[in-house]
Chain A
Amino acid sequence: EAGVTQSPTHLIKTRGQQATLRCSPISGHTSVYWYQQALGLGLQFLLWYDEGEERNRGNFPPRFSGRQFPNYSSELNVNALELEDSALYLCASSRTGIEWTLHFGNGTRLTVT
């Protein structure tokens, strides 16, 4: 069974630009979660998508947005990038409404210069 895949692995952007990060969940998983892990910090919850709908959102500004496609893959968009957006962005998937056991991808390292 293929795991959660994220692309790109690394992304370098300049301040003010937009970044798009992609995630493909494990086959059969309909829930996708996005987390931000800044250096030295724990995982901060960004967004939860399930069955194409946004179910919950963390305490992040509206310039963090995303969507889930009919095949359950997901995209995270970060507009008007700021230096403090530099972090590891992790995507996770799970079976809908059944379990909190999340399966993570290896992340996208976003660097904003």
Chain B
Amino acid sequence: DQQVKQNSPSLSVQEGRISILNCDYTNSMFDYFLWYKKYPAEGPTFLISISSIKDKNEDGRFTVFLNKSAKHLSLHIVPSQPGDSAVYFCAASPRRVDSNYQLIWGAGTKLIIKP
């Protein structure tokens, strides 16, 4: 049972345009969400997070939107740059860091920025 789903294995976007990566979750206990970026031969690096008390969080070119009723979040990258080409993972968990919980990860979306 996939509790966190990233339904697009890959996405191709023109440089300078907006990239929108989507993530859906099924567990209503999840109230903290993170996005990570991964380059080949490197570990994932933290990008941006959002808790359920917010519906939007911005950090520079990156904005994450959370729609709790739809159990859906999206990552917007504006404008897209060649260095943004990577695999993007969505992860979710209950907010409290507790040994009963763990981060649940999506399968990732490979973003390709075309020059």
Residues of A contacting B93 in the complex (Cβ-Cβ under 8 angstroms):
100
How many A residues face the partner with a CB closer than 8 A? 26
Q: Which residue of the partner chain, among B34, B41, B99, contacts A55 with CB atoms under 8 Å?
A: B99
Q: Given that A43-B89, A48-B99, A98-B97 are contacting pairs, would A103 and B105 also be in contact in the complex, using a CB cutoff of 8 Å?
A: no
Q: Is the CB of B41 within 8 A of A100?
A: no
Residues of B contacting A43 in the complex (Cβ-Cβ under 8 angstroms):
44, 89, 91, 105
How many B residues face the partner with a CB closer than 8 A? 26
Q: Is the CB of B105 within 8 A of A42?
A: yes
- B45 on the A face (CB < 8 A): yes
Docked CA distance A42–B7 (Å): 12
Q: Is the CB of B97 within 8 A of A102?
A: no
Q: Which residue of the partner chain, among B41, B89, B102, contacts A42 with CB atoms under 8 Å?
A: B89
Say which one of A13-21, A68-76, A104-112 lies at the interface with B: A104-112
Residues of A contacting B45 in the complex (Cβ-Cβ under 8 angstroms):
104
Docked CA distance A48–B23 (Å): 25
Q: Which residue of the partner chain, among B97, B99, B106, contacts A100 with CB atoms under 8 Å?
A: B97
Residues of B contacting A26 in the complex (Cβ-Cβ under 8 angstroms):
none
Q: Which residue of the partner chain, among B41, B43, B89, contacts A92 with CB atoms under 8 Å?
A: B43
Residues of A contacting B100 in the complex (Cβ-Cβ under 8 angstroms):
56
Provide a sorted-by-A list of 27 A–B residue pairs whose CB atoms are within 8 angstroms: A4-B43, A35-B105, A41-B107, A42-B89, A42-B105, A42-B106, A42-B108, A43-B91, A45-B103, A45-B105, A56-B99, A56-B101, A56-B102, A58-B102, A90-B44, A92-B43, A97-B97, A99-B97, A100-B32, A100-B34, A100-B49, A100-B97, A100-B103, A101-B34, A103-B46, A106-B42, A107-B42
